[in-house]
A and B are shown apart, each in its own frame.
Chain A
Amino acid sequence: MTTTVAGPPGAAPARSAPKGEERRPRRPWAPYLFVSPFYLLYVLFMLVPVGVSLWLSLTEWVGLGPPHWVGLRNYRLLATDISFHRALGNTAVFVLVALCLVVPLALLIAQALNTRGLRVRDLWRTAYFVPIVVSPILVALIFGLVFDRQFGLANALLRALFGTGGADWLGDPDLARVSIALVMLWRWTGYLTVFFLAGLQNVPRELYEAAALDGAGRLRTFTTVTLPALKPVTAFVVVTSFIGAAQIFEEPYLLTGGGPAESTLSVTMFIYRAAFQRQQFGYAAAAAVVLFVLVFGLSRLFNRLLGIGRATS
């Protein structure tokens, strides 16, 4: 679902509607009719809920009876709620993992896959993409087994290679975060590779030839030809990954339950817990509004900084 993952590429380039061959139809209402199903659903299942969320965040409500108006109290409570601070911090860590590890690795793999004359390119590309097809519950199950303290594959591997392997992957607060990061890496890298590879294949060959003529080395070619040409894709991937990682839920929920000691509690888990386990609907809504402001605001900022919409060279 469009939920917690790096979902469908959601980069939101704030581009203007495309120009090009367009025409005024004989029936001027036709385009409105064509877009109306989307906007009907958009209003009902997006705008209205966002509005309700804002309103609920100013109330105290256990899910039954009428909500009590409490003004900004939920926000004041959030400001001093250590669990919420932890959730924000952990989510920030997951976002950093996505941006500083997953995205660069995806670029590296795409670069490798784009090598001229590479054999069985399709096989590699497919293998790296497969994790995206697998449902989160299976991901959690597999990695629950991989990270099992006694018998897991991770420790078995460590034992085989280095002779030590008693790591408590999911039970130690720091390692639990590392484990979640590894799962993110496994799950999302191949998906992002698809975008980088498409971008790389669109770089005009002449640019590389020109760079070669200028005697540019591999690194120079990468920084002066590849990176600038990849700018639109990179912007897209960065914003998509940010939005996805900022809402991470399944990995911590299924693998660690947010623990140990809330070391992997994410904001979305915090919202879920408040609303559906503790019946604090107003409080959950307030946390959701904070998440909304952060994600919406920062993705706008990313868009602006990365110049989506005016980056075509």
Chain B
Amino acid sequence: MTRARLPLYAFLVLLFVGFLAPLVWALSGSFKPRGDIFGYPPKLLPDPFTLDNYRTLLTEQPFARWFLMSTVVAAVATVVSVFVCALAGYAFAKFRFAGKRLLFNVMFSSLSIPFAVILVPLFVILVKTGLGSPWFALIVPWVAPAFGIFMMQQYIVQSIPDSVLEAARIDGASEFGIFRTIVLPLLRPALGALGVWQFLQSYNSFLWPLVLVSDSSQYTLPLGLQTLFVSEQRQYDLVLAGAVLAVLPAVALFVLLRKQLLEGLSTGAVKG
């Protein structure tokens, strides 16, 4: 490393610490007794070290149920939305049809509709029509994100040659058969990226579940943790442990598919 590079690395390390310090602090705090979390000066290593926060959380709070609720909802939403996006993205990338341009622009402009605008009516509609069950309402309104279609469309244009599709057509494959047996497998990296993104969106979502779910037996993780957070005695110790456990699946997914995610996200943005 040359001397000239020193400021650069100093900058990167400083940011590194800045970005990770709060997380490390939370991780360490989750192993401290409640009184120590606020100890001054803050200690990096928990001393005494305790697993009590985790034990209490898992035995005295319905943490497992929150966790199950969140992961199942997010998994279903992810699978469905990835499929819907790939299908539409493929049509936009590889077919010519009347009204395509209009449909594409309509799809795209939906990205600038703020969620807060549909929050109230969506709640009213779903509750009044009896479709407000979390299993439906936490999943279905979110399975067709325009961003995902755009991402798929960009990826398909760049990476799936027409000749492959042409050959399949000459062999007499049906249009959907081509999609299923040729396009989907070739799309795998992009599907992974969109899948992680969609999973994180659903798994971490807060405002919509906060509005929609009133029955505490159907709380998602963020809602459950919030009850500990806003309760009378602010159970920081439990929330910290819960937050660490909650973030594990997200981090695991991210680590596994990090490369695809980071590259997939920027598909489309680069060329504008």
Contacts and interface: CB of A to CB of B under 8 A. Distances in A.
A249 interface: yes
B96 A2 contact: no
B194 to A, nearest CB: 9
Instruction: Place the interface of chain B in its size category.
Output: 35 or more
A16 interface: yes
Interface string B93-135: 1111100110111111111111111111111110000000000
A1 B208 contact: yes
Contacts of A231: 272
A242 to B, nearest CB: 9
State the main secondary structure of chain A at its contact with B.
helix
Interface string B122-166: 111100000000000000111111111100010001000010001
A146 B119 contact: no
B246 A138 contact: yes
A72 to B, nearest CB: 18
B180 to A, nearest CB: 12
Nearest to B118: A49
Contact of A237 (B97, B113, B143, B269): B269
B201 interface: yes
Interface string A164-208: 000000000000000000000010001000110111001000000
Nearest to B122: A49
A6 B148 CA distance: 15
B23 interface: yes
B22 A153 contact: yes
B175 A296 contact: no
A45 B207 contact: no
Contact of B148 (A8, A53, A160, A311): A8
Interface stretch (B46-54, B55-63, B84-92): B84-92
Contacts of B263: 198
A136 B149 contact: no
A281 B124 contact: yes
B267 to A, nearest CB: 8
Contacts of A22: 94-96
B12 interface: yes
Given A9-B269, A130-B20, A137-B229, A46 B113 contact: yes
Given A8-B111, A49-B121, A135-B206, 10 more contacts: A23-B166, A26-B169, A35-B103, A39-B103, A42-B144, A134-B247, A138-B26, A236-B269, A254-B226, A275-B119
5 contacts: A138-B243, A194-B262, A232-B271, A246-B114, A271-B116
Interface of B: 1, 5, 8, 11-12, 15-16, 18-23, 25-26, 29, 37-42, 84-85, 87-88, 90-97, 100-101, 103-125, 140-149, 153, 157, 162, 166, 169, 175-176, 179, 197, 200-208, 211, 221-222, 225-226, 229, 236, 239-240, 243, 246-247, 250-251, 254, 258, 262-263, 265-266, 268-272
